[in-house]
């Protein structure tokens, strides 16, 4: 590791501690992630500092190639920054070993993707059980937890079905159940409605909002649909060419009864 890089990290953490107010679940500090394409270096995330409050709902907005997905992957611990810090619940992900990062992915965050990413050869039950295998949850407890998660997303009667036998909306609900099963504090969603029609998309968004409310999960969602973000998120973060363009508290957020 270059000495410059570790200095930046240390500086970033100091900065964080200065700014930390105890209510933040996630904070990134001067986060940088480059991609090498041939000889040119493309900054996918270029000095981004953002924060998400506990129990908050943050939408990362931007055109494709704006670096929003890269930012989400960094927060998810799937990718490592070239410099800067990602502090989640007091842990700086940039300093974790690969095993510690796996541990973090297991227990602290749950992820859903645009393309659902269920394992096609496994049944719904097995897909939801999978994260608990890595988290070494006892077998006796697993059944109960799978049932609970599937109940929450309304798929209790589809346990034996394979992803190919389910609709897109059902698959995304299954993915949400899978993201919940290890009881993480943070839900990361990468274009969760991108592959769904608007009606199903609304259902999924309602479900995510419900998790945000009832389980007090912090939600960070990547989307390119501003209207969707404005409808559900309480904070909007705008990204362009890897840079933070601005962030606003969302005053237009829909309130009132959830629609099923």
Whole-number Å distance between alpha carbons of 162 and 149:
17
Is there binding between residue 73 and other proteins (CB under 8 A)?
Answer: yes
- Minimum distance between the CB of residue 104 and other proteins, rounded to whole angstroms? 8
- Bridging pattern class, strands 91-92 and 83-88: antiparallel
222 contacts 191 by C-beta, under 8 angstroms: yes
Q: Which of 165, 162, 132, 164 is nearest to 147 (CA)?
A: 132
In the list 133, 143, 160, 254, the residue contacting other proteins (rule: CB under 8 A) is 133
Whole-number Å distance between alpha carbons of 118 and 154:
17
Residue 86-105 contact track with other proteins, rule CB under 8 A, x = bound: ------------xx--xx-x
> Two tokens at 202?
């609304």
Q: Which range of residues in 11-19, 71-79, 213-221, 252-260 is near other proteins by CB under 8 A?
A: 71-79
- Minimum distance between the CB of residue 17 and other proteins, rounded to whole angstroms? 28
Element holding 104 (H helix, E strand): helix 98-107
- Residue closer to other proteins by CB (options 41, 102) is 102
Q: Which residues contact 117 (CB under 8 A, 6 or more apart)?
A: 175
Is there binding between residue 185 and other proteins (CB under 8 A)?
Answer: no
Q: Which range of residues in 10-18, 76-84, 154-162, 221-229 is near other proteins by CB under 8 A?
A: 76-84
Chain residues that interact with other proteins, rule: CB under 8 A:
73, 76, 78-79, 98-99, 102-103, 105-107, 111, 113-115, 117-119, 121-122, 130-131, 133-136, 139, 178, 182
């Amino acid at each position: 590791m270059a000495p410059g890089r570790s200095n930046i990290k240390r500086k970033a953490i100091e900065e964080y501690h200065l700014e930390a107010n105890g209510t933040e679940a996630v904070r990134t500090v001067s986060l940088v992630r480059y991609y090498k394409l041939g000889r040119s270096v493309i900054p996918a995330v270029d000095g981004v500092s953002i924060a998400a409050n506990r129990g908050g709902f943050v939408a990362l907005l931007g055109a494709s190639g704006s670096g929003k997905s890269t930012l989400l992957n960094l927060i998810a611990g799937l990718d490592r920054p070239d410099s800067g810090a990602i502090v989640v619940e007091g842990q700086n992900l940039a300093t974790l070993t690969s095993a510690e990062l796996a541990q973090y992915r297991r227990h602290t965050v749950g992820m859903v993707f645009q393309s659902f990413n269920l394992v096609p050869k496994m049944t719904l039950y097995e897909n939801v059980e999978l994260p608990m295998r890595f988290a070494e949850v006892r077998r006796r407890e697993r059944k109960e937890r799978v049932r609970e998660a599937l109940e929450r997303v309304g798929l209790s009667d589809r346990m034996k079905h394979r992803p190919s036998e389910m609709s897109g909306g059902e698959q995304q609900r299954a993915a949400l159940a899978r993201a919940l099963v290890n009881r993480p504090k943070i839900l990361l969603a990468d274009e969760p409605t991108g592959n769904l029609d608007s009606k199903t998309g609304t259902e999924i968004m309602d479900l995510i909002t419900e998790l945000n409310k009832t389980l007090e999960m912090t939600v960070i969602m990547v989307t390119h649909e501003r209207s969707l973000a404005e409808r559900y998120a309480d904070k909007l973060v705008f990204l362009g060419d890897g840079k933070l363009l601005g962030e606003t508290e969302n005053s237009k957020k829909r309130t009132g009864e959830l629609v099923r």
